[in-house]
Structure 1
Amino acid sequence: MSDQMAGRGDLRGDCARCFGLCCVALPFAASADFAIDKRAGQACPNLREDHRCGIHTRLRDEGFSGCTVYDCFGAGQKVSQVTFGGQDWRAGPAERARRMFEVFPVVRQLHELLWYLNEALTLPAARPLGDELRRVLTATEELTRRTPEQLAALDVAAHRQEVGHLLLKVSESVRAGTGGRGKDRRGADLMGARLRGAGLRGAHLRGACLIAADLTRADLRGADLLGADLRDADLTDADLTGAFFLTQPQVDAARGSAGTRLPASVTRPAHWTAGV
């Protein structure tokens, strides 16, 4: 991983400094990703009193693969240690716990935006947008430091839209220099699509549904993959060199091989080589 990307330690989940918020605040439904149903605000039965997962080493075997590909982008420790000053939701009044669970998804969205904005600042093609990127990044960081009441009332969708417009400018600048055809497949439904060996260099795949798509040996160099759903997508021997706005959870949810070429912003998942 590049030094620039590795320097964003505060935008990576640190479970040791969190009160297990993702295991309580978020809902999930029984599916291929989760073995049971759980409503928002209800603690997962696998969550121990010390806020650690009781089946962490067996999550995939126990039917909780969705947990293995989740990342809060550091929102868990921010809400636990900064927004609520280290106050454990278990030890306080029910109202504090409720507000903590309400605020966590908001901060998680803001931290994800910070991840993209930080990455944008490392892209040479985006240098002309540097001042605007830094302004929006600073504004977003300020939002994450607001009080619980202010965060709960925040129109995070409107802020995402503002940041999204700026990131779209970045995408256009980066993809213009890829030398590829730059196909626009924003939001496309490509579930299960046969894209083996496809030429997707410089493609705009923002928000595309690529669940279980066959991308074996596909050329995804310089592609915009912001928000693309890569669950169970086959990236065997695919080339993602220079692909951007690709997060670790997206890669972790896909399948790949030792021959898959990844951008420096992410690491090769251990389960790829383990054959899981």
Structure 2
Amino acid sequence: MAIKSISEKEFSSYPMQKNPMANVLGEEVAWFEEKENNLIATIIKDKIDNDWAYVILVKYPNNEYRAEEVEASLETQEIAEKNAKRKINELIKAGEFREELYNDETITEDLQKNSLIITDINVEIKKYFKKYPEKLYELSSRKFEELVASILEDMGLNVELTKATRDGGTDIIAVMKNALTSMLIFVECKKYSPDFKVDVGIIREVTGVHALKQPEKSIIVTTSTFTKDAMKEAELARGKLELNDYENLREWLSNY
């Protein structure tokens, strides 16, 4: 379990999708890998604010690497590298938790104490997060999307997860039906740490997809919160965009 410094060329050899605006807004200055657990990271100098950030990417089943953790507005490169390495180690430790939690044969620690065998893993997962909502931060982005989709399904919606390779703007396609009509809903999920708020850029990305594909409503769900600018931007959508943060998630989970 060794985190190794690598060259830009070595980092770029990994298959990944990059935001075309990334090099305009920031400059990558350092790169790391943890081969055993398929984790890579880059340290970025923000060209606008002159502060630092890191991005950690994980390998998905299609062999492509996707951003899993991001932290910005750090004062120095040293702090960014230190935080990135710490987060990589946290992700490695959390990996065992995720594997056990989503294994149909698994009994969670609380259930084990009561000698109760899981018969419906989805229900038990949601009960677990109701009791320990802070554990949401240990989920991968994809597992978070699956959890949100399952909650929406319990609310009576027909849901479909989009492919992990999609360009952004829609993680879940949901349809709400009744006897008279049906409503198409796009859902974007952002599994962020508490101190990394969803910013106005995400709002504009989602509203751009909304304008292009024209569902009845778009929803953003995050484990964090939204910046003031993001909330102001969302208000311009005039009821077409709904924001749901960590507290909303806790409210949803309270039903289990």
Question: Relative contact order, CA 8 A, sep 6+: which one is greater?
Answer: 1
TM-score range, shorter chain: 0.3 to 0.5
Structure whose residues are more often strand by fraction: 2
What TM-score do you get using the length of structure 1 for normalisation?
0.32
What TM-score do you get using the length of structure 2 for normalisation?
0.34
